[in-house]
Chain A
Amino acid sequence: METNETGLIARILAGEKELFHDLIRPYERMVYLTLFSIVKNETEAEDGAQETVISAYRHLASFRGEAKFSTWLTTIAINEGRKRLRKAKGAAEESIEEQAEDYEGDFTPAPMTDWREIPLEALERKELRELLGVAVAELPDIYRQVFTLRDLEELNVEETARALGINPGAVKVRLHRARMMLQKRLVPVLKTSAPARRGFFGRAQ
């Protein structure tokens, strides 16, 4: 797929501009989620996603292929999101990187002795999707951003570190904490929201 992408980029730069639509299509979701993980607002995230794509188009010639195209694009999206956040919150807002790793919190998981797997079909239920969405949205910023890049967009540790401008060790620590916070928060509610034996996901049979 990547050689295909390199070919696409070369053709776009050589003048077949319309192909940029195809280049960007696989990453639309990723760009939106990246923006949303920073600005936490649908409209802002969508506007930011559009700006990201336009900016990527305008600067495509400067993409040298040292990073993957997806990582390069994510970096643009992160910068766009941070710019919007600064604008929204004013100059008083400290840079995201100034939030250190010494965040005091409880990163131990919720203990239990059995877990009844919640199947993917359960996502048909809106309330379950909302539970998950809110839990992710309410993670502290630095954890939510790493979680989004690693677990939702499936960037690897190096790519995430590069895109966020932090070191790989910090990516691992933040990801671990994000996952543990989600586990701790979601396990008690998921356990009660997924009744065990009453028909299919609680619906009467």
Chain B
Amino acid sequence: MKLECKHVWEHISEYIDGSVDAKLREDIERHLEHCEICSAILDSTRNILVLTADDRTFELPVGYSERLHERLAKELLSFEKDSKKE
């Protein structure tokens, strides 16, 4: 079956995740072979996902981890005191 571009777009996300069934995957791949537009959309979407998922894109605040463990250390101490009181 010949797919229209629009139909391919609807399934791009699931195609990227590998969750379309075998038949649809085959149809999409056949479409991609001759459709520059859909191929470019697929490539750019994948590229954007790789870029956004990189740790550098969303940086944690400086000192975040240190402050988190400091706070946790205090909590562990106070828990200890509580249990000793009992």
Q: Footprint of B on A, CB under 8 Å?
A: 17-18, 20-21, 24, 28-29, 32-33, 36, 42, 46, 49-50, 53-54, 57-58, 108-115, 117-118, 120, 122-124, 128-129, 132-133, 136, 151-152, 154, 157, 172, 175-176, 179-180, 182-183, 186-187, 190
Given A21-B69, A114-B36, A129-B56, also A46-B49 (CB < 8 A)? no
Given A132-B51, A182-B52, also A109-B68 (CB < 8 A)? no
User: Which chain A residues lie closer than 8 Å to B3 at the CB level?
Assistant: none
User: Which chain A residues lie closer than 8 Å to B10 at the CB level?
Assistant: 176
Interface size, chain B (Cβ < 8 Å): 42
Interface digits, B45-71 against A, CB 8 Å rule (1 contact, 0 not)? Answer: 101111111111111110011011101
Give CA–CA (A42, B63) in the complex, Å: 12
Q: How many A-B residue pairs have CB under 8 A?
A: 132
User: Which chain A residues lie closer than 8 Å to B1 at the CB level?
Assistant: none
Say whether B40 contacts A114, CB under 8 Å: yes
Known: A32-B60, A49-B64. 20 other contacts (CB 8 A): A42-B61, A57-B72, A57-B75, A57-B79, A58-B79, A108-B9, A109-B44, A112-B41, A117-B43, A123-B56, A128-B51, A175-B13, A176-B12, A176-B13, A179-B48, A179-B49, A180-B45, A182-B45, A183-B44, A183-B48
Say whether B57 contacts A133, CB under 8 Å: yes
Give CA–CA (A20, B68) in the complex, Å: 12
